[in-house]
Amino acid sequence: MTVASETTRATAVLTDMWRIRLFEEAVEDLYGRGMMHGTMHLSIGQEAVPVGASLCLEDGDVITCTHRGHGHTIARGADLGRMMAELLGRENGYCKGRGGSMHIADVATGNLGANGIVAGGLPIAAGAALSQKMRGTDRVTLCVHGDGAVGEGAWHEAMVLASMWDLPVVFLCENNQYGMSLPSLAAYRVEKLSDKAAGYGMPGETVDGNDVDAVAAAVGRAVERARAGQGPSFVDAVTYRWRGHSKSDKNLYRSKDEIAEWRDKDPIARYSGQVLEAGVLTAADLDAIQAAVRQEIRDAVVFGTRGAEPTVESMLAGVYAPVDEQGAEDRA
Amino acid sequence: MTVASETTRATAVLTDMWRIRLFEEAVEDLYGRGMMHGTMHLSIGQEAVPVGASLCLEDGDVITCTHRGHGHTIARGADLGRMMAELLGRENGYCKGRGGSMHIADVATGNLGANGIVAGGLPIAAGAALSQKMRGTDRVTLCVHGDGAVGEGAWHEAMVLASMWDLPVVFLCENNQYGMSLPSLAAYRVEKLSDKAAGYGMPGETVDGNDVDAVAAAVGRAVERARAGQGPSFVDAVTYRWRGHSKSDKNLYRSKDEIAEWRDKDPIARYSGQVLEAGVLTAADLDAIQAAVRQEIRDAVVFGTRGAEPTVESMLAGVYAPVDEQGAEDRA
Amino acid sequence: MSEMRTMTYAEAVREAMAIAMEADERVFLMGEDVGIYGGAFGVENDLYERFGTERVRDTTISELGIVGMGVGAALTGMRPIVEIQFSDFTAQAMDQIVNQAAKIHFMVGGQASVPLVIRAPGGSGTGAAAQHSQSLEAWFAHVPGLKVVMPSNATDAGALLLAALEDPNPVIVLEHKLLYKQSFAVPATFPKARLGEGRIEREGSDLTIVATSVEVQRSLEAAEQLAAQGISAEVIDPRTIRPLDTELILSSVEKTGRVLLVQEAVKFGGFMSEVSATITESRAFGALQAPVRRLCGLDTPIPYNPKLERASVPQVDDIVREAAALVREW
Amino acid sequence: MSEMRTMTYAEAVREAMAIAMEADERVFLMGEDVGIYGGAFGVENDLYERFGTERVRDTTISELGIVGMGVGAALTGMRPIVEIQFSDFTAQAMDQIVNQAAKIHFMVGGQASVPLVIRAPGGSGTGAAAQHSQSLEAWFAHVPGLKVVMPSNATDAGALLLAALEDPNPVIVLEHKLLYKQSFAVPATFPKARLGEGRIEREGSDLTIVATSVEVQRSLEAAEQLAAQGISAEVIDPRTIRPLDTELILSSVEKTGRVLLVQEAVKFGGFMSEVSATITESRAFGALQAPVRRLCGLDTPIPYNPKLERASVPQVDDIVREAAALVREW
Ligand SMILES: Cc1ncc(C[n+]2csc(CCOP(=O)(O)OP(=O)(O)O)c2C)c(N)n1
Ligand SMILES: Cc1ncc(C[n+]2csc(CCOP(=O)(O)OP(=O)(O)O)c2C)c(N)n1
Ligand SMILES: [Mg+2]
Ligand SMILES: [Mg+2]
């Protein structure tokens, strides 16, 4: 890699990690001030996973996210203003205020959306990959899911079907070690979650999910394999969420020490340190990146809060996709 | 083992295998003559699995069966007359004519029943094992399922939960190599189905399912482990069904050669040959066993065909279990 | 169109799938044993030979998974048909049907839609007992975002399936096991159908019978017998129950003043309770000369015994008896 | 019994579980995050500390599996309570609820029964959007073999849960998320309740309002406002919707001649259509002075935006308006 391209890459990586962190801090703030409602699942502390994984994707690739979907949505290039508008329930949001945080989607960037159902996105991702394969593309699908999702039947069925048909899908486990309050590794009785991949005839790899480069490398291998028509893979990226599961969480199942320990592994600080040390970016560069993102977030909040409230009429009109009578007539 | 006990065991084994075979042949015959209706799933050719597994069970142990459940029901000691009556839809059948072949159960022998839902019995079995454990017994649950069931989410969830809680359950895969028309091994992308057990932190073993002794040995190990409080195991017993999946099967997905090859591996002929050769039973003994079972089956058919037709009134009264108002009052 | 041919309901379903696959390369089929086995009810038969195993895909036994894959494929440019071997096993797939397929278009604010067709045979009458004989249409009719189709004859089985495949929304087509082998007169080309349009199957003046699926056929037979008794029954088949052709039903009720609602499903909480409520809270309330009457399945799981099984759901005789009573007593 | 105390609906559920666990060692609870987390809605709170992790069991995220384990445990001598974190996720478990729990007693000819209690919170109002806000009672009400309970206040939340735990059949208790934090006056001991017995929550003479769950509370508030307008509304809470206390409803309708049915669930195919059909085909038909009217959720998945969310389900004002119109126009 040339110095210039290294700089570009590092800037992009840090920009995206800061976008995720600061977007969610803003969301938290709006929530705290009563300007946002509902529930929120924040991925602060986990930023290296979406950003690392997204480095491996190209236009036309598809992703499915979990309920904790802000990070991947941002990393795939969604507009922060329309995201903020959605979380504020406005008509100019991605989902016209109908979906909110748990259903945020940006289909234009191949992001089929967050999913309020644990493991709900897995069969959908396998289906998108089937579609990519049947349409003769070399595109792939990245299926992000949590460690808690591994307990669901939907997870298993998607793994079975994707493996049977050699589908171009990467199952990326964003393993923050807890499914709400349940410590996953203890529950599943394996040493690492990637030990489960062999049972599906799939390669499996466990990586440090707080290391952007490690995530990018592992997901990159899996993506290449999928693009080459060699079938699905499983990547287990071990990370940690700093915040509670959602707003109802009293955090009784994790110790203060454990949380502190993982805060010390902050993926942003770590990556910043590395690029500083390597001389890829300067301290001033780092500040500039953060400052620019702060402005983006401020703009996003303004964009969102200025959005119109949606109407009942437009909501009701949005339940069904309109039938194209003419088109139908033609094909009869 | 003494000669006497070897003889007793061999007689019991052969009696049960013949009961299964001849019961199902009788059922086939009644069906062919229009005296029985519905659909039937016959386990002819698979007799070594239920008989071998049952050798490891004791009173108070529990089993759950599949839609192909005659074999295990017989091996656990069900009354052939009441079974036949059930398949004939009579009031004196095990299920009062409400359940038929696919729901045959003999709860008194710990047999919670066949299940028309593929993998439907797995979580139920795990629950029975949880109950055995919570009640402080050393009883175990044998969960019989097909190879096709491995594709269901229910299979996975039961494996996950049983493993997490070290439940005393043995997952016995009656692997006749096809889930209806789907060749399982090819679909699942593993060399043998027991390769899947490791993903659940469980021991897994693949055995010759046409060999009574091999089945009994493997299930025996798993049962002992469960009784000792060491948790669940997975046993994959490879066998073959001689008949079609059910009455609608045109058998297009299996070759004549393959069927012939497996008919040559007839578990009854094989076991008979072994005990003859070892001098445990004589040819006359073998004939006597078969003749005795033939008479049992004839009696069962007579018992069944003489049973009364159930009434709509008794059916409607059987939808809910009656609430014991008095008992309830006492506990309030 | 005018020339008729004889065809079973299963053949019509197969032909419609073939027509759609010929016309549109995005259409494909996934399901358990839909390939070389030919389908549990023989619906697919040689379809996999004609279209290959890429487009007629045998799956593992994973209902939730395959419906979900249908959702994913539909979201990304394909037009999948997913077959659920018995409609009872939609229970396994409810999350993908209800929480995903039905809601995605809404939840993403219209950014995407889910043109997925799910076919599933329901109903009793084959001795398959409680887990293989249910009529569960009421569940789906209650879900905004889904469309629900119940063809009662071969022509509709083909025509409505083609309409479902043209629709940008998820459509569940509930076929009936007993109808599969039944032969019908079918036009040379399937007529163009529109989801949400019911049909008067037989005109009459004394009472309106609204029936679904196999009960439409039974109601037509009953109407024949009623005619012999001097009672003129109008028989309406809504064909799709969501959206429901309320207008057609109300107009008929205004004309006849009496209505018998017939379904195979369990009465309590069944779809016909919706039809009843819709009628009585409508303008047709004033025209009612008798209370709306429902004739439905008994309040029981479907039993195995064939006599009990028959007794559990409305048969021709039951319809004749109820219809005659409704006309004579009121 | 006469001394009252103040208690939230969530506390009442917790207390009832504790009473049952104290009294009967066969009773235990399984669910996601019911242990140290205290339940997603805080219902369990310190229950696991009081009864230990053997009897208050945290599970993996496996709804089908845990309901199925409940079935197996119930069949073999235990009295499990399974919590489904949001009732929307019953979609994952429908096979075990409907094809197994509800039918086993029937299918095995009475050899065994399934005394399983499933608790699941439903309803909208928390900004949780389409996959976490549904009211799905109509699905369960349609299934023979199940009993379906919908407590509308803290006393019932406790008393009906205890009754459900005494019942030898599978019972699904649909709690309401918005009620959890609401406080109620509750007797010192939960009164003995019987599944299938409804209650007149408020007597009146001009119209009958039948409502379920949170809509009972809204209807009571509405009745207060209606009284101020000179309209006397009788409010009935069926409390269990399967079995339904039809007699109580019919008697009230015979007295008032007008009926408004209020539910949060989507109108089309909802449970109130059954109540409507039951009334109009009963002896009470003749007593009706106005068509039965339903006031229900709009035909939409629940939206995220809070104003739209409120507008999607009946609020107090809507009930007042509809009730007043029903009385004034007829
Ligand atoms: C089917 C289903 N069950 C339960 C829930 C409630 N729930 C939401 S997130 C969550 C934990 C998920 O854990 P994991 O998959 O590890 O994702 P994480 O929250 O850790 O990112 C649970 C139990 C749900 N949304 N869907
Ligand atoms: C949930 C569900 N899906 C599909 C079916 C239809 N079906 C019945 S048996 C069967 C094949 C089962 O294969 P396997 O588990 O290997 O058992 P086998 O029939 O070979 O004994 C299928 C697809 C069913 N009964 N339940
Ligand atoms: Mg997690
Ligand atoms: Mg098999």
Give per-residue pLDDT as tens, B173-212. Answer: 999 999 999 999 999 999 999 999 999 999 999 999 999 9
Q: Which ligand is nearest to the CA of C84?
A: 2
H or E element: which one contains B127? helix B121-134
For chain B, give the number of residues: 332
Percent of chain C with pLDDT over 70: 99
Domain D4-187 and domain D199-328, same fold? Reply is yes
Residue A117 Cβ < 6 Å to ligand 1? yes
DSSP per position, C110-146: TS-----EEEEEE---SS--TTS----HHHHHTSTT-
Mean pLDDT of the residues in chain A: 96
In sequence order, the 6+-apart residues with CB closer than 8 A to the CB of C137 are C122, C148, C150, C174, C212, C241, C263, C265, C271
Please tell me the distance between residue A180's alpha carbon and the centre of ligand 1 in angstroms: 6
**Helix extents (H) in B146-282:** 153-164, 184-188, 212-227, 256-263, 267-277
**Cα angle for residues C286, C290, C293 (degrees, 5° grid):** 115
> Does the distance separating the beta carbons of C128 and B39 come in below 8 Å?
yes
Q: How far apart are CA A199 and CA C54, in angstroms?
A: 25
> D198 — phi, psi (to 5°)?
-85, -175
For residue B191, give both structure tokens.
């060399």
Residue D43, number of CB atoms within 10 A of its CB: 25
* pLDDT at position D64 over 80: yes
Residue D155: its pLDDT value, please? 98
How many whole angstroms separate alpha carbon B184 and alpha carbon B173? 12
Name the catalytic one among D11, D32, D44, D63: D63
Is 60 exceeded by the pLDDT of residue A330? no
Residues A116, D175: Cα–Cα separation, whole Å = 20
C4-187 fold: Rossmann fold (3.40.50)
- By Cβ distance, the residue of D23, D67, D108 closest to B103 is D108
pLDDT (tens digit per residue) in C167-200 = 999 999 999 999 999 999 999 999 999 999 999 9
List, in order, residues 6 or more apart from B232 with CB less than 8 Å away: B129, B159, B162, B163, B166, B167, B168, B169, B170, B171, B200, B202, B226
Q: Do B199 and A190 touch (CB under 8 A)?
A: yes
Spatial strand order of the sheet with B204-208 comes to B62-64, B141-146, B169-175, B233-238, B204-208
**Residue of D132, D175, D201, D264 marked catalytic:** D132
Phi, psi of C199 (to 5 degrees): -150, 140
C243 prior amide bond cis, ω within 30: yes
Residue of B nearest to D31 (CA): B161
List CB contacts (< 8 A) between B332 and chain D: 162, 192
Atom 12 of ligand 2, residue of closest alpha carbon: B179
> Is D201 in the active site?
no
Question: What residues of chain A have any CB closer than 8 angstroms to a CB in chain B?
Answer: 150-157, 160, 163-164, 187-190, 195-196, 198-202
Q: Closest approach of chain A CAs to the CA of D60, in angstroms?
A: 6
pLDDT of A54-74, one tens digit each? Answer: 999 999 999 999 999 999 999
Distances (CA, A) of B203 to B149, B196, B216: 19, 10, 16
pLDDT score at C2: 65
**Tell me, what's the pLDDT at A326?**
53
- Which residue's alpha carbon is nearest to atom 13 within ligand 2? B179
pLDDT at res. B180: 97
- Residue D280 makes CB contacts below 8 A (sequence gap 6+) with C276, C277, C280, C291, C292, D288, D292
- Residue A46 Cβ inside 6 Å of ligand 1? The answer reads no
Can you tell me whether residue A95 is helix, strand or coil? coil
Residue C200 bridge partners (DSSP): C236
Q: Is D329 a catalytic residue?
A: no
- Residue B153 CA, chain-centre distance (Å), reads 21
Helix axis angle, C271-280 to C246-256, nearest 10°: 60
Mean pLDDT to the nearest integer, B149-174:
98
Smallest CA-to-CA distance from B53 within B178, B222, B177 is with: B222
Could you tell me which residues come within 8 angstroms of residue D251 by beta carbon, excluding any fewer than 6 positions away? none
Q: Residue with the nearest Cα to atom 20 of ligand 1?
A: A179
Across the range B20-48, mean pLDDT stands at: 96
D92 CB within 6 A, ligand 1: yes
Contact status, residue A169 vs residue A129, Cβ threshold 8 Å? yes
Could D129 and A99 be called an inter-chain contact, meaning their C-beta atoms sit closer than 8 Å? yes
Residues 6+ apart with CB under 8 A from D170: D71, D74, D97, D101, D102, D114, D115, D116, D117, D118, D145, D146, D147
Contact residues of ligand 2, CB 6 A cut-off: B 41, 66-68, 116-118, 146-149, 176, 178-180, 245; C 32, 61, 63, 85, 89, 92
> Which pLDDT score, from 0 to 100, does residue C174 have?
99
Nearest to B52 by CA among B87, B94, B20, B79: B20
Judged by phi (left if over 0) then psi (alpha if -120 to 50, else beta), residue C133 lies in alpha
The bound ligand whose nearest atom lies closest to the alpha carbon of D60 is 1
How high is the pLDDT of residue A325? 65
> For A38, which DSSP code?
S
Read off the DSSP letter of residue C45: T
CB atoms A103 and D61 under 8 Å: no
3-class state of residue C40 by DSSP: coil
- Quick check: helix, strand or coil at residue C250? helix
Pairing of strands C117-122, C171-176: parallel
Please name the member of C36, C63, C301 whose beta carbon is closest to the beta carbon of B252.
C36
Please answer whether residues D107 and D76 qualify as being in contact, where contact means their C-beta atoms are separated by less than 8 angstroms: no
**Band of the pLDDT at A4, cuts 50, 70, 90?**
confident
By the 8 A CB rule, do C105 and C113 touch?
A: yes
Interface contact C61, partner A, CB < 8 A: no
- Give residue limits of the domains in chain D: 4-187, 199-328
- CB contact (8 A) between residue C73 and residue A93: no
Identify the bridge partners of residue D294 per DSSP, sorted by sequence position: D261
Pick from D173, D188, D169: nearest CA to D140: D173
Strand partners of residue C171 = C117, C147
Minimum CA–CA partner of D297 in chain A:
A316
Ligand 4 midpoint to CA B209 (Å): 12
The pLDDT value recorded for residue A331 is: 36
Cα(A277)–Cα(A266) distance, integer angstroms:
17
Strands (E), chain A: 62-64, 141-146, 169-175, 178-179, 182-183, 204-208, 233-238
Question: How far apart are alpha carbons D327 and D268 in whole angstroms?
Answer: 24
Where are the domains positioned within chain B? 3-314
What mean pLDDT, rounded, does chain B reach?
Answer: 96
Please state, as a whole number, how many other Cβ atoms lie within 10 Å of the Cβ of residue C201.
Answer: 19
* Nearest CB partner across the interface for C91, out of D95, D130, D299: D95
Chain C interface test: which of D89, D95, D172 (most C C-beta within 10 Å)? D95
State the number of CA atoms in the 13 A half-sphere of A88 facing the CB: 27
Task: State how far the Cα of A160 lies from the Cα of A168, in Å rounded to an integer.
Answer: 13
> Any idea which residue has 């009556």 for tokens?
B85
DSSP A198: G
Ligand 3 centre to CA of B50 (Å) is: 41
Portion of chain A with pLDDT greater than 70, in percent? 97
Q: CB A180 to CB D130 under 8 A?
A: no
> Mean pLDDT over residues B123-134, rounded?
98
Q: Cα–Cα distance between C277 and C261 in angstroms, integer?
A: 11
Asked if D53 has any chain A CB less than 8 Å from its own CB, the reply is no
The pLDDT of B52-75, averaged and rounded, is 98
Nearest to A189 among B164, B189, B196 (CB): B164
Amino acid at B224: E
Q: Using a 6 Å cutoff on CB, does residue A177 contact ligand 1?
A: no
CATH topology of domain D199-328: Rossmann fold (3.40.50)
How far off is chain A from B318, nearest CA to CA, in Å? 32
The verdict on domain A3-314 having CATH code 3.40.50.970 is yes
| pTM for this model (two decimals) | 0.98
CB contact under 8 A, A180 and D126: no
* Mean pLDDT lowest among A321-330, C125-134, C269-278, D68-77: A321-330
Look at the block and give the residue holding tokens 């395959």.
C66
Cα A7 to Cα D259: distance, rounded to the nearest angstrom:
72
CA atoms within 13 A on the CB side of B21: 22
* pLDDT for A301 beyond 90: yes
- What is the least distance, in Å, from the CA of B127 to any CA of chain A? 16
What pLDDT score does A2 carry? Answer: 81
What count of other Cβ atoms lies within 10 Å of the Cβ of residue B182?
24
SS (H, E, C) A137-185: CCCCEEEEEECHHHHCHHHHHHHHHHHHCCCCEEEEEEECCEECCEEHH
- The whole-number average pLDDT for the span D134-155 is 98
pLDDT for res B71: 98
Q: Where residue B331 falls among pLDDT bands split at 50, 70, 90?
A: very low
Report the alpha-carbon distance of residue C222 to residue C235 in Å, rounded.
10
Using the CB atoms, write b or e for C280-309: b if 16+ within 10 Å. Answer: bbbebbebbebbbbbbbbbbbbbbbbbebb
What does the pLDDT look like over B249-296, one tens digit per residue? Answer: 988 999 999 999 999 999 999 999 999 999 999 999 999 999 999 999
Mean pLDDT of A151-165: 98
Residues 25-54 of C with CB under 8 A from D: none
- D94-115: per-residue pLDDT in tens? 999 999 999 999 999 999 999 9
Query: Cβ distance C309 to C176 under 8 Å?
Result: no
Mean pLDDT of B214-243: 98
Going by pLDDT thresholds of 50, 70 and 90, the confidence category of residue D2 is low
Q: What percent of chain B has pLDDT over 90?
A: 93
pLDDT at B327: 46
Six-digit token pair at D159? 């008393």
What's the pLDDT band for B328 if we cut at 50, 70, 90?
very low
The parts of chain C modelled with pLDDT lower than 50 are: 1
